[in-house]
Structure 1
Amino acid sequence: MRVIDVDGSVHTFGTGENGPTVTIRIHDKALHRKLFLNPELAAGEAYMDGSLTMEDGSTIYDFMYLFSVNRAPLGANPVQGVLRKFWKAFRRRQQQNSVERAKRQAQHHYDLSTDLYRLFLDEGLNYSCAYYRRPEDTLEEAQDAKLTHLVAKLDLKPDMEVLEIGGGWGSLAIRMAQAGARVTSLNVSPEQVRIAQERVDAAGVSDKVKFVLKDYREYSGKFDRVISVGMMEHVGIGHLDAYFGKIREVMSDDGYAVVHSIGRMTPPGTTGPFIRKYIFPGGYVPALSEVFASTERLGLWVCDAEILRLHYYYTIRDWRIRFEANREAAENIYDEAFCRMWEFYLCAVELGFLHGSNMVFQLFLSTERDAVPIIRDFIQDNERSLNGLD
């Protein structure tokens, strides 16, 4: 890495023998201390306001990739160790997601212009990990495969009642309704519900899908199936029992739930300061040990667990490439600082799935040990049927 300082002096770090050279320029002397004390947040904010720029053809992705492959020595920085302990000590306070606060935080991210999301998502506006059978699959193919995979896991029968916790822009609700289910979809984002209702109407399944503008804690009922995709990351560590408790409450005795969420393969940690401040306030990616501790406390059977390791890396890779190709259009919707924030966010999360500890898990949860078929063959059988291959 080459650093061009405020006074024009150049500092070089590393030999450059084992990878590309990345050049950055610092435009503000105050960044020296900020980057030392809180590099992740300070680097992101400096890139947003232009006090840190990329030079000589380097990109923000190049810069973050360089740091990503040097995680071990960077993690040994004693200042970072103190910061991590501080963040962990206060993480429950940072994630005190009351019903009203959770709604505000979700709207902070999901009530952005849908036109922004159309610039980098697939046509179905699926904003969660896709299912890549091959790394070269298109985003559309992988998201379609994800919907098929989830519906296959639900093992739906005609007129089954399904509760969806966190409905997004409606793609999964549409797919479940097309499979014959009656869907109640919870969402706290008015903008998402508006678009989702339009899409449900256009798909001709409005008689089978009902959207409800409520937090999961505000809704009750009994359902044959419960599904939650990309929602648990917003719950917060102090609310996992409430989340799984609600799933237990609304499941029929012979029903089961499918939960799809980002997780980490490392011990419990914290949410990075940039993501926490600018992207997902109140969010937290739980360790599997935290998830299973909660299901144990609530007496839930974890009937199956599938770990998707690289799928979200491929997904966000495709999102980032599409956003870069449509950056000018994004700037017309918001501004340059917003685009830089979004670039930093997409690069950070992509590399977190490539070199970091992040992955995605899909769980089957039930109150009865035999609610889910005892072997997995039914998933593949259902997928073949849904794909017209039977």
Structure 2
Amino acid sequence: MEQSLDNPAVGVTAARQSVPFAVAAQPGGGLLRAKLAERLFRSATARLPLTVRYPDGRVEGAGRDGSPVMVLHDPRGFFHRLGTARLIGFGESYQAREWDSTQLAELLAVFAAELPRLVPAPLQSLRRAFDLRRPGGAANSLRGARRNIEHHYDLSDELFELFLDETMTYSAALFHQNPLGRPDGGFATLADAQCRKIDRLLDLCGVGLGTRLLEIGSGWGSLALRAAARGAQVTTITLSSNQHDAVRRRADAAGLGDLVDVRLMDYRAVQERYDAVVSVEMIEAVGREHWPTYFRALRRLTAPGGRIGLQAITMPHERMVAAAGSQTWITKYIFPGGIIPSQTAIDSESQAAGLHMLHDFSFGRHYAHTLRLWRDRFSEQREAVAALGFDETFRRTWELYLAYSEAGFAAGYLDVHQMVFATD
């Protein structure tokens, strides 16, 4: 049975079931939109520091030696998808092998840096009228939240093991700074950088011997295990059955099973109070309509005098507002139900819940470096990815996802923060 990339109900899990993750035929119609998309694209790329190569030998763009190169294999297909589905079509065209680049993240970083100016202002005002809306089934209700988490995190533990370091930490690492202020170190130091990030947040929240700690969003247990190793009594919750079982196994193997209570449950169902509550890159999966509930829960679950530690990806507020409710390539194929908050939104929602911020530290460049290491590792493991049952289109989907994310942080379009809040 062949699945379609144009069906929002079909996600990357299709490949895990050995079902062809195939791109649908070009949608009918849309000739005028394709022509407009081509005109806008060529006008934009003519002034961008990149090079576009066409099958007929044409070369366009303002790139020089060393600039990223975009190779269009099928211009007609590319402009058709771009005109019909805009940025979703841009991504789907890559999945469909209609264009390529050997410098994918660098190419996407150029587009990300210029995103607000790529489309003329008069046309930007029409965005809402033409944007695809998110399907109702992607909402993060109690049932929907678990389904959305399973869509991504329950793909295959073996898949994530192929590109994460031995700590199995799937969030921004914190590297040492080199003299130029840029993250330093390669994959061999990634585990150390992940532990540095975790320890920093635990230190800020005062987690130590006897601390009753709640972690919202377990991942594969790296934070819970490091907190337990300090003597904290850890409760960690997740909606991923794969991760629940993995954390349980890892805690027992480390001899920390009596200090780590792993629960398969939603944060809204937790009733106890804790000395500290931490949540690393989980707010992005909460959903904008549930942010008030999320921040009220953080306050409710924190004992008097306790601390709340968040690590959150952020985006500019105006871009967040513009994208709210719209279907994007990321929400269609990678994180259904997700939305990245702005720092403004976090400030507003936390204050409304009665929290006040004690500390804020941003390290977006470090996330770009983390993602580069993951993407390099993922690309090196293409044969192992295929051996797990994931096809070529799935591989291109994830390479684009990792490069897309890396580009956002490299261009400054995205950032990541560690924040600490108090309830008093």
Is the 2:367–2:406 Cα contact (8 Å) retained in structure 1? yes
Q: Residue 372 of structure 1 corresponds to which residue in structure 2?
A: none
1:43-82 equivalence runs, <5 A: 43-50=90-97, 52-54=98-100, 58-61=102-105, 63-76=107-120, 79=123, 81-82=125-126
Contact 2:201-2:418 within 8 A present in 1 as well: no
Cα distance between partner residues in 2 of 1:10 and 1:81: 35
Give the secondary-structure state (helix, strand or coil) at the position aligned to 1:310. helix
The one-letter code of the counterpart of 2:111 is F
Aligned counterpart in structure 2 of residue 172 of structure 1, from 199, 213, 223: 223
Q: State how far apart, in whole Å, the 2-side matches of 1:281 and 1:122 are.
A: 25
> Which residue of the partner structure matches residue 274 of structure 1?
329
Cα deviations across residues 78-131 of structure 1 (Å, max 9, x unaligned)? 55553367659x679686311110110011000011111111111010001111
* Counterpart-to-counterpart distance in 1, 2:68 and 2:107: 9
Q: Report the TM-score, using the length of structure 1 for normalisation.
A: 0.86
| Distance in 2 separating the partners of 1:81 and 1:11 | 32
- Give secondary structure in 1 for the equivalent of 2:370: helix
> Using the alignment, how far apart are the partners of 2:351 and 2:136 within structure 1?
24
Q: Which residue of 1 aligns with 2:148?
A: 105
Q: Distance in 2 between matches of 1:94 and 1:291?
A: 25
Q: Which range is displaced more, 146-155 or 277-286? A: 146-155
CA offsets per residue over residues 163-193 of structure 1, 9 Å max, x none?
Answer: 1100110110000011111011010000011
SS of match in other structure, 1:35: helix
Quote how far apart the aligned CAs of 1:63 are. 4.0
* Percent identity (aligned): 34
Rounded Cα–Cα distance in structure 2 between residues aligned with 1:133 and 1:308: 11
Which residue in the other structure is 1:359 paired with? 415
Q: What is the CA–CA distance in structure 1 between the aligned matches of 2:110 and 2:413, rounded to whole Å?
A: 17
Alpha-carbon separation, structure 1, partners of 2:131 and 2:296: 27
CA distance in 2, matches of 1:85, 1:180: 55
Structure 1 residue identity aligned to 2:421? L
CA distance in 2, matches of 1:78, 1:119: 45
Partner of 1:251: 302
Letter in 1 for 2:52: R
Aligned residues of 1:331 and 1:338 also touching (Cα < 8 A): no
Structure 1 gap segments, 5+ residues each: 369-390
C-alpha spacing 1:59/1:308, structure 2 compared with 1 (3 Å): closer
Q: 1:266 to 1:133 in 2, by over 3 A?
A: farther
What is the alpha-carbon distance in structure 2 between the residues aligned to residue 339 and residue 328 of structure 1? 10
Please give the alpha-carbon distance, in whole angstroms, between the structure 2 residues aligned to 1:21 and 1:244.
42
Structure 1: distance between partners of 2:117 and 2:413: 16
Give the residue type in structure 2 aligned to 1:342.
Answer: W
1:156 and 2:204 equivalent? no
Matched, 1:136 2:187: no
Q: Is the 8 A contact 1:25 1:53 kept in 2?
A: yes
Contact 1:109 1:279 in 2 (8 A): yes
Q: Is residue 22–residue 62 contact of structure 1 (8 Å, CA) maintained in 2?
A: no
Looking at structure 1, the residues matched to 387 and 90 of structure 2 have their Cα atoms a distance apart, in angstroms, of 24
How many Å separate the matches in 2 of 1:17 and 1:128?
Answer: 34
Post-superposition offset of 1:3: 3.9
Can you list the C-alpha shifts for 1:20-77, whole angstroms capped at 9, x where unaligned?
2624234373432321343421122122122x1337xx45445434434543541437
The correspondence of residues 143-222 of structure 1 with structure 2, limited to 5 A, is 143-222=194-273
CA distance in 2, matches of 1:365, 1:65: 32
Alpha-carbon deviations, 1:231-268, whole Å to 9, x = none? 10101111111001111111111212111111124433
Aligned residue-pair number? 361
Structure 1 stretch displaced more, 102-111 or 12-21: 12-21
Paired residue type of 1:71: L
The one-letter code sitting in structure 1 at the alignment partner of 2:100 is M
Which amino acid is 1:141 matched to? D
Q: Does 1:122 align with 2:165?
A: yes
Give the distance between the partners of 1:356 and 1:86, measured in 2 at CA. 27
Cα offsets for 1:279-321 (capped at 9, x unmatched): 0111111111111111121121212222223121111111111
**Alignment check: 8 A CA contact 2:299 2:355 kept:** yes
Shift of the 305–45 alpha-carbon distance from structure 1 to 2, 3 Å rule, reads same
- Contact 2:268/2:297, CA 8 A, preserved across alignment: yes
Q: State which of 268, 274, 296 in structure 2 corresponds to 1:223.
A: 274
Name the structure 1 match of 2:85. Answer: 38
The CA distance in 2 between the partners of 1:282 and 1:338, in whole Å, is 20
